[in-house]
């Protein structure tokens, strides 16, 4: 089987795996200050056992990775039982069925919702009696229909005289905050006891992030990205992890295509020009950098792929 273009530079840079995939992988989890603070908030909130917890962040700031990291931690802690909904764009009935399934309950799609909720409540009481804390993690919560948000609020009404039977953690884009401002959802907003907004990384954080991912991917050589290149990637990515991954990956492809062992400003500029969401660098201050058009940048990356295929043949 031929290797994919994302694997083509691994041997060239002595990497054991692709370091800058945009697929959330907890093996590459990087504990930058914002994620560490968010995790601290989550841990304190879960220990309190009360209300909703809300984590928001712009697209690409690592919400899903943080969610999966928390899920892994809770799964390894015997006092917690977790349920995870990665795609909550469900109506109230489908949402309740999904939760029941996550809790190991067998319910048909045509089941009466009153009976489904009764089964969920009985299971929650049983788990609480066993000393367990049940946590529902909902990713991409901004995609939830309004009626489904109300449905999960009603789920938190399930309680004993001393504690809630279910805690819910919402991970979502800033649009989630706008939804919660609607008068019809004000009761849910009042139940959010803890919240945190993820922030982009600073330049030093970007440098540490790049080094961390390369090290995790097996790289043990001299730094691939010098200070000028790190400045470029920081400015272009705005400190957003997903964009950092995209730009780093493309720059490695360009460098590989040219047979280079380190990433130069020209390589990174090619990656920036080929990435629609990357910020433009102030070229009047960067005249030492040869500006490449988007077409030229794409051609450089395409040449890298072509040369790799030639080496395979």
Please indicate, yes or no, whether residues 221 and 119 belong to a single structural domain of this protein: no
Residues 17 and 88 in one domain: no
Domain annotation covers residue 27 = no
Confidence of residue 24 (pLDDT cuts 50, 70, 90): very high
Give 299-306's long-range contacts (Cβ < 8 A, gap of 24+). 300/254, 300/257, 300/258, 300/270, 301/250, 301/253, 301/254, 301/257, 301/270, 301/271, 301/274, 303/257, 304/8, 304/9, 304/253, 304/254, 304/256, 304/257, 304/258, 305/5, 305/8, 305/253, 305/257, 306/257
What is the reported pLDDT for 8? 78
Q: What mean pLDDT is predicted for residues 219-235?
A: 95
Clarify whether residues 101 and 221 are in a common domain: no
Examine the domain organization and report whether 78 and 134 are in the same domain: yes
The residue ranking higher by pLDDT, 90 or 3, is: 90
Structural domain tally of the chain? 2
What letter would DSSP give residue 9?
A: T
Q: Which domain holds residue 149?
A: 33-197
Is residue 134 predicted with pLDDT exceeding 50? Answer: yes
Q: Could you read off the pLDDT of 180-223 as tens digits, one per residue?
A: 999 888 888 888 989 999 999 999 999 999 999 999 999 999 99
Q: Grade residue 50 by pLDDT with cuts at 50, 70 and 90.
A: confident
As a whole number of angstroms, the distance between CA 229 and CA 67 comes to 30
Compare 8 and 298 and report the one with higher pLDDT. Answer: 8
Residue 158: its pLDDT value, please?
75
Pair 9, 74 in one domain: no
With cut-offs at 50, 70 and 90, classify the pLDDT of residue 51.
confident
Tell me, what's the pLDDT at 56? 97
Q: Average pLDDT in the 98-117 region? A: 86
CATH label of the domain that carries residue 130: 3.40.50.300
What residues contact residue 156 under an 8 Å CB cut-off, 6+ apart?
Answer: 51, 52, 164, 166, 167, 168, 191
Count the residues in the chain. 313
Burial 94-113 (b: 16+ CB within 10 A, else e): ebbbbbbebbeeebeeebee
Report pTM: 0.85
Identify the CA nearest to 173 among candidates 62, 36, 24.
62
Reported confidence tier of residue 301, pLDDT bands at 50, 70, 90: low
Provide mean pLDDT across the span 144-159.
Answer: 86
My answer on whether 140 and 88 are in the same domain is: yes
Is 276 found in the same domain as 213?
Answer: yes
Least confident window among 22-36, 55-69, 227-241, 281-295: 281-295
Is the per-residue pLDDT at 264 higher than 50? yes
């Amino acid at each position: 089987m031929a290797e994919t273009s994302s694997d083509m530079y691994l041997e060239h840079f002595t990497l054991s795996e692709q370091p800058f995939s945009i697929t959330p992988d907890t093996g590459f989890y990087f504990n930058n200050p914002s994620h560490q603070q968010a995790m601290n908030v989550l841990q304190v909130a879960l220990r309190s056992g009360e209300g909703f917890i809300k984590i928001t962040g712009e697209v690409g700031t690592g919400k899903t990775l943080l969610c999966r990291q928390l899920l892994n931690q809770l799964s390894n802690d015997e006092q917690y039982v977790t349920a995870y909904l990665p795609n909550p764009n469900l109506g109230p009935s489908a949402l309740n069925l999904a939760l029941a399934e996550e809790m190991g309950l067998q319910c048909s799609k045509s089941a009466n919702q009153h009976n489904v909720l009764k089964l969920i409540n009985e299971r929650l009481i049983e788990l609480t009696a066993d000393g367990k804390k049940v946590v529902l993690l909902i990713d991409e919560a901004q995609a939830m229909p309004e009626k489904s948000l109300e449905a999960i609020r009603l789920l938190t009404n399930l309680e004993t005289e001393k504690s809630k039977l279910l805690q819910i953690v919402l991970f979502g884009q800033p649009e989630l905050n706008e939804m919660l401002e609607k008068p019809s959802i004000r009761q849910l907003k009042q139940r959010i006891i803890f919240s945190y907004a993820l922030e982009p990384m600073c330049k030093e954080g970007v440098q540490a992030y790049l080094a961390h991912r390369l090290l995790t991917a097996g790289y043990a050589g001299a730094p691939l990205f010098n200070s000028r290149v790190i400045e470029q990637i920081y400015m272009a990515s705005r400190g957003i992890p997903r964009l950092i991954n995209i730009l780093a990956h493309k720059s490695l492809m360009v460098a590989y295509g040219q047979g280079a062992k380190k990433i130069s400003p020209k390589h990174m500029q090619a990656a920036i020009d080929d990435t629609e969401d990357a910020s433009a660098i102030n070229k009047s201050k960067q005249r030492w950098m040869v500006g490449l058009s988007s077409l030229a940048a794409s051609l450089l990356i395409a040449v890298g792929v072509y040369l790799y295929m030639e080496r395979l043949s």
